[in-house]
Structure 1
Amino acid sequence: MADVVEKESMKNYQIASEKINTEAGRFPYCVVWTPIPVLSWLFPLIGHTGICTSTGVIRDFAGPYFVSEDNMAFGKPTKYWMLDVSKVYARGSNAWDTAVHGASEEYKQRMHNLCCDNCHSHVAMALNLMQYENSTSWNMVNLCLLVLIHGKHIGCAGFLKTWLPFLMLMGIIVAVVLAFNLQ
């Protein structure tokens, strides 16, 4: 039985993987991430997230009472974490899309709070509604860590957009510290 479930999971993963189109900005069954200017330059693990529908349309809690569609608040995704639709409690793309829609509708009624109720909370609510991996304990902390661990950069440009500002800033700080220590 476990072997059948694993084969189904791999099949779903392969089908979704083939539908990812980074040029068109389509990431079916994915959580997407992009850096937030200045904040991510200082803390590159902190960024903006969204969740995609079964067709790859990105939904993100972009500000107070606003959930954008296919226009992320801080630019195109630089990382994505592909999830397995077979791990949705009710199974299937309809359950996935219903959960994404439900979370988006709820967050259209909420005030944005950078620390407590933000884009990560929106994605976590969608995962809770679909009971992804039989869990209703998704939150912004575990979501952030899992995107960090499982997220894949969208090519070299995505990697550079994520890490280059931080590395340049650290290089400047190191250079200034060394210059003061040499005097």
Structure 2
Amino acid sequence: MGICTSAGVIRDFAGSYLVSEDNMAFGRPTKYWKLDVDKVCGTGSAAWDKAVHDAYKCRPHNLCCDNCHSHVALALNLMRYDNRTSWNMVNLCLRSLIHGKHVSCVSFLKTWLPFLMLTGALVTFILTLNLH
């Protein structure tokens, strides 16, 4: 998960103390959630860019507690997006799942096909166990 600057440059953590720009760690984006700069407390795009910059400066990155989701949440908290400071990994994930839009039909398949295949294999395995 990454967040764009007002100029549209995606910032994403690629590892500890390593921020990539327009080169996300896990490939090209498959889904996006367009946020409204008018919901930022402060001077619009200037406040947005400062919050994005401050959220990504000189920070460690770890998979469980301080990951790309938490850095995006920090940026939203710093800019007081939607007049809130309670953004976190969980509500950000849920809101992006609900409000996000897929880039294309192929991106939809890239996002959901592995999950559906794994779920199908698991259901088949469980049904096979129950039949014996």
* TM-score after normalising by structure 2: 0.91
Q: Name the amino acid aligned to 1:101.
A: H
Instruction: Say if 2:13 is the partner of 1:61.
Output: yes
Structure-1 separation of matches of 2:4 and 2:65 = 22
Instruction: Say if 2:112 is the partner of 1:163.
Output: yes
**Structure 2: runs of 5+ lacking an equivalent:** none
Structure-2 separation of matches of 1:59 and 1:82 = 15
Partner of residue 30 from structure 2, selected from 78, 81, 84: 78
- Structure 1: which 4+ aligned runs deviate by more than 6 Å? none
Q: Name the amino acid aligned to 2:19.
A: V
Structure-1 separation of matches of 2:31 and 2:8 = 14
Q: Name the amino acid aligned to 2:123.
A: V
After superposition, what is the alpha-carbon deviation per residue over 1:19-74, rounded to whole angstroms, capped at 9, x for unaligned?
A: xxxxxxxxxxxxxxxxxxxxxxxxxxxxxx10001121110122111111111110
Q: Name the amino acid aligned to 1:102.
A: D
Q: CA RMSD in A?
A: 1.5
Q: Name the amino acid aligned to 1:147.
A: S
Partner of 1:154: 103
Instruction: Say if 2:94 is the partner of 1:145.
Output: yes
1:33-182 pair list within 5 angstroms: 49-105=1-57, 109-182=58-131
Structure-2 separation of matches of 1:176 and 1:121 = 35
Shift of 1:182: 3.8
Structure-2 separation of matches of 1:53 and 1:159 = 24
**Structure 1: runs of 5+ lacking an equivalent:** 1-48
Shift of 1:101: 1.2
Task: Give the stretch that moved more between structures: 95-104 or 80-89.
Answer: 95-104
SS in 1 for 2:2: strand
Task: Give the stretch that moved more between structures: 157-166 or 138-147.
Answer: 138-147
Does structure 2 conserve the Cα–Cα contact (< 8 Å) formed by 1:120 and 1:140?
Answer: yes
Aligned length: 132
Q: Give the % identical residues.
A: 73
Q: Name the amino acid aligned to 2:7.
A: T
Structure-2 separation of matches of 1:84 and 1:174 = 41
